[in-house]
Amino acid sequence: MVTARLIKYVSALLISWVILSVNASASSQLTVNESFEREIINHYARLTIAPSSATYFDILNDNIAVQAPSSNGRVWYSTELVHTGYSPIPLELNIDRLNVDDLQIFLLDSSERIVKSYRYQAGKGDYSLRQPLPNIRLAFTLQPYQNARLLIAVKDEGLKYFPITLWKKDLLVQHDTNMLTLLGAVSGIMALIACYFLFSYLYQRIPTRFWLTMSSLVLIALLFITVGGVAIWPSLTNGSEHFYAVCFGILLLCIAKVTHHLFARIPFILRALNYFVPLVATLYCFTVNAYTTSITLLILTAGMGLYHVLLALVFKDKGSQAVSITYILAWLSFYAFYALVTQNLFNNLVYTVDVAIGMLFFLTLGFLCFGFAVITKEEVLNQRQLSTQAETISSLNHFYDLFRHSAEGHYTSTWDGKLISVNPAMCKVFGYDNEEEMLAEAENTKVFYASAEDRQILLGEISQQGHVTGKEIRGKRRDGSEFWFSLSCQIRENDEGSFLYGSIIDITEKKQSDLSLQYLATHDSLTGVFNRRQFELVFKEKVLEADDTPICLLFLDLDRFKVVNDTCGHKAGDVLIKDIARLIENTLLPEAQLARLGGDEFGVIYSNIDTDAVYLNAVKILNAVQAYRFMWDNRIFNLGVSIGMVVCDDADVSSGQYLSMADAACYFAKEQGRNQVHRYNKNDESMQRYQRELDWVSSINNALEEGRFELFYQSLRPLSKTADGHYYEVLLRLREKDGKLVEPANFLPTAERFEMNVSVDKWVVTNTFKWLSENPKHLAELKRCSINLNCHSLADRDFTLFILNAFETFNIPYNKICFEVIESVAIIKMEDTLAFMRTFNRLGCSFALDDFGSGFSSYSYLKSLPVSQVKIDGMFIKDMLNDSVDTAMVASINDVAKAMGMQTVGEFVENEGTMAQLGKMGVDFAQGFGVAKPAPLREFQPL
């Protein structure tokens, strides 16, 4: 293992350093006289590392070669004692360490004869050790002017270098007494601390106090081992390193538990490391020799201490800095103790009373700081708990105040219904003056329900779900009157049984309001009959439930209602609609259902009635309306009604389709002269045409929503100059769901008829501008892009704002856009057309008059319109080579336009001959299949 090799390498360096430092400073001669008290033999000894087989004689005569440090050799200390006094001096050699594998002591006289010897081997059961502080001792007396030599041989796998002291005997006795007193005091303090935390743990059950108790007991055990306590069992003295390893491992685990409690924010992985490292290190110590074990424990202690300090700094309790400060102070005390221990191990520091006092002081201080940190942490937690309790009590008081003063009625009852508590609002809801009166009179909550079954249903729901929310129940007050209340209730369990906690709100007014809202949601507010939404729902249900008797549907559209509304105002119009609704309702068959579908539109549903009877009833309605006279401000108005009738006898047709059929039938009743009944016939060609138009309406709406319109373009060829850029007209196509491309002639008339052109024109402008902005190179080369606009768009004020916003949004130059307006449209919406043209002319846009020449008054209106281009109607262009009249018309239009400073465009150019003829006439541009066919704008190709 890499770790083992590293520790062995460090060990060798330490041994070499010890030998060099000792031999460098030692004089190998110790002088003794009457003033002698105590000296460290190591400072006066010559060290020799010899093989295990070497004898003291070999050491004295230097018969061996000095070896490098190894675990198999012996370390010999040789010191000469010189007595320079005048009286015998009783001395005693003292060695504190008992876990030495083999220790030999020789006292030689001046003739190098053995005067006294002693041998100690750990684990061999030596009961001669001094008690109660077991140490290795050798007592002798040095006579005046007598010289002697001490030879000490140490063989051990662990630390071979440790303090060896020579004492004056009476002083050593005094030292033992002082040490016993000191150890007794410290042990007593540690025992008291352990007992305090143990009993407090048993009382409070706070785990940290248990781990502090364990820590103090482990420290007492370590102290016991350090002072030689294992000598009570001499056979165990050679295993003290393993005892140390186990104790240190347990101690670090206990401290880890304390640390984790003090700093709760330490993450799991760092906590696991706090357990893993001591455990692995302890197990490792059982696989190596004693020396490596000692070094491992020293490194482990220093490293884990630093790790704990870092944890305390990083994950400190921000709410209490005192915990972190006290905790770090504890580790600083332990480090001071650690420094004295290392001085003893590697620098021959003797455990004198002063040193022992310092060591035990730092040890005790560190542990007391640990305990103080734990107590401080508990006080912080207690303060927080007390604060939380205070907040809880405050919240409870707050909730009690809410309970007392709440606008909602609150109550508590048993499962059987016995009332336990109520608030004033609860009393008010049920008509009681106060809580005491209600609790005394209302023996059970059953009396609060208008129907006893409601309470049983409520209990069943609570049993299944544990609670109910907003359940609306019909209740009964103290005076017997009934009302509606909303109940929210939940069940709670405790030692005394099941309890119901609930709140009650009087919703009588809300219930009445809901009924009114429900009525308004299904009825027309002006006439009181069904509204369109309810009419369609009822009709859909009847279609689904239809039996052998068919359902009949009428759509009614009043004739000349707009005259009354515009002439007399909306108030008169409302009165008229109410009168007509009552008139129709009084004329209907009993089984019919009337609804107002729009401003002047009504619908009637007939079920289980013969179709002929329905038709006759429709005629009766028509006659009644025709006979009705409306008077307002001394004016008399007569009305009519157009009625469409549909017999719903086809199971494959949906309710929505039937509604469209009825609408179509009503439309044709108006188209055929008004004031008549038109019965829908699917074989009617006109009806089919109208139905197709309705289908186109749906297709156009879907295309707008789904983006199935596509932009095409058709290029214009300049005839009077070379091409200096792109000239083209934007066209529109509709892509059906099956992929088929539809020409605008198929759907634009329907769009115009149903006033959908504004939406279509907005789509064209938006997507054209968007494409131009996404193709800046094309935009730079563009000279004129022509876009067609419809009369409905020109008359729409919002459309003008929309176009202005589109120019700004897509940053399109105004001078590159030309808006085309059909001549007939421009004439119909002259004022709107002029306003629109003037607005965008000022900004730089140009305008073209399309299909010029098709109207009766083309030339007269040409002066009024600020156009810069005239597009000659294609009906004059396509046959002009064969028809002199067409040629004359084209020439006339071109001459007039030129006279007014306008450019001209020839449409429907289908061949080169026509194009050449137009060029000779002076027409500026040609457009048609002979120039270029329409193509997708996204695939633009210049001419």
- pLDDT of 909-926, one tens digit each? 999 999 999 999 999 999
* 722 within domain boundaries: yes
Predicted local confidence at residue 236, as pLDDT: 59
Tens of pLDDT, residues 709-741: 999 999 999 998 888 899 999 999 998 888 888
Q: How many residues belong to the chain?
A: 943
Is the pLDDT at 839 greater than 60, yes or no? yes
Confidence of residue 583 (pLDDT cuts 50, 70, 90): very high
Q: What is the C-alpha to C-alpha distance for residues 438 and 502, in angstroms, rounded to an integer?
A: 16
| H or E stretch covering 799 | helix 797-810
Q: What is the C-alpha to C-alpha distance for residues 873 and 892, in angstroms, rounded to an integer?
A: 13
CATH number at residue 436: 3.30.450.20
Confidence of residue 603 (pLDDT cuts 50, 70, 90): very high
- Asked whether the beta carbons of 524 and 580 are under 8 A apart, the reply is no
Tokens of 817: 């856009």
Tokens of 687: 């009806």
Average pLDDT (484-507) is 83
Q: What are phi and psi of 255, to 5 degrees?
A: -65, -35
495, 549: one domain:
no
| pTM metric for this prediction | 0.41
CATH number at residue 296: 1.20.1070
* 691 within domain boundaries: no
Which residues fall within 8 angstroms of residue 602, CB to CB, at 6 or more apart?
529, 555, 556, 580, 581, 584, 594, 595, 596
* 106 within domain boundaries: yes
668, 723: one domain:
no
Q: In 227-318, which ranges are continuous DSSP H helix?
A: 240-262, 268-285, 290-314
Range of the domain at 352: 179-382
CA 100 remoteness from chain centre: 66
Predicted local confidence at residue 405, as pLDDT: 66
439, 460: one domain:
yes
Confidence of residue 819 (pLDDT cuts 50, 70, 90): very high
778, 907: one domain:
yes
Q: What is the C-alpha to C-alpha distance for residues 813 and 705, in angstroms, rounded to an integer?
A: 28
Q: In 844-924, which ranges are continuous DSSP H helix?
A: 858-862, 874-877, 884-899, 912-921
149, 269: one domain:
no
Q: What number of other Cβ atoms are within 10 A of residue 635's Cβ?
A: 11
198, 222: one domain:
yes
What type of residue is 31?
Answer: T
Predicted local confidence at residue 230, as pLDDT: 59
Predicted local confidence at residue 20, as pLDDT: 44
- Asked whether the beta carbons of 799 and 758 are under 8 A apart, the reply is yes
Q: What are phi and psi of 89, to 5 degrees?
A: -125, 115
DSSP string, 305-327: HHHHHHHHHHT--TT-HHHHHHH
* 697 within domain boundaries: no
Tens of pLDDT, residues 233-285: 665 566 667 777 788 788 888 888 888 888 888 888 988 888 888 888 888 88
Among residues 512, 544, 567, the one where a domain terminates is 512
CATH number at residue 650: 3.30.70.270
Is the pLDDT at 810 greater than 90, yes or no? yes
CATH number at residue 114: 2.60.40
* Domain count of the fold of the chain: 5
Q: State how beta strands 29-32 and 74-83 pair.
A: parallel
224, 275: one domain:
yes
Predicted local confidence at residue 821, as pLDDT: 87
Predicted local confidence at residue 465, as pLDDT: 85
Range scoring the smallest mean pLDDT among 18-27, 64-73, 829-838: 18-27
Which residues pair with residue 164 across a beta bridge? Answer: 95
* 416 within domain boundaries: yes
Predicted local confidence at residue 386, as pLDDT: 78
Pick the closest to residue 252 from 284, 286, 211 (CA basis): 211
189, 336: one domain:
yes
| DSSP code, position 63 | -
Among residues 170, 187, 202, the one where a domain terminates is 170
323, 441: one domain:
no
Predicted local confidence at residue 262, as pLDDT: 80
**What is the average pLDDT score of the chain?**
82
Tens of pLDDT, residues 37-90: 888 888 888 888 888 888 878 788 776 655 555 556 888 888 988 988 889 999
Is the pLDDT at 555 greater than 80, yes or no? yes
* 112 within domain boundaries: yes
Confidence of residue 8 (pLDDT cuts 50, 70, 90): very low
CATH number at residue 808: 3.20.20.450
Distance from first CA to last CA of the chain, Å, rounded? Answer: 85
Among residues 107, 139, 170, the one where a domain terminates is 170
- Asked whether the beta carbons of 592 and 606 are under 8 A apart, the reply is yes
As a whole-number percent, the residues of the chain with pLDDT over 90 amount to 17
160, 261: one domain:
no
Is the pLDDT at 370 greater than 90, yes or no? no
Q: What is the C-alpha to C-alpha distance for residues 880 and 909, in angstroms, rounded to an integer?
A: 10
As a whole-number percent, the residues of the chain with pLDDT over 70 amount to 87
Q: What number of other Cβ atoms are within 10 A of residue 407's Cβ?
A: 9
Tens of pLDDT, residues 678-689: 888 766 666 666
882, 733: one domain:
yes
Q: What is the C-alpha to C-alpha distance for residues 475 and 425, in angstroms, rounded to an integer?
A: 15
Average pLDDT (382-411) is 73
* 696 within domain boundaries: no
Predicted local confidence at residue 813, as pLDDT: 95
Q: State how beta strands 29-32 and 147-155 pair.
A: unpaired
377, 430: one domain:
no
* 272 within domain boundaries: yes
Q: What are phi and psi of 288, to 5 degrees?
A: -125, 175
Is the pLDDT at 361 greater than 50, yes or no? yes
**HEC sequence for 632-660:** ECCEEEECEEEEEEEEECCCCCCHHHHHH
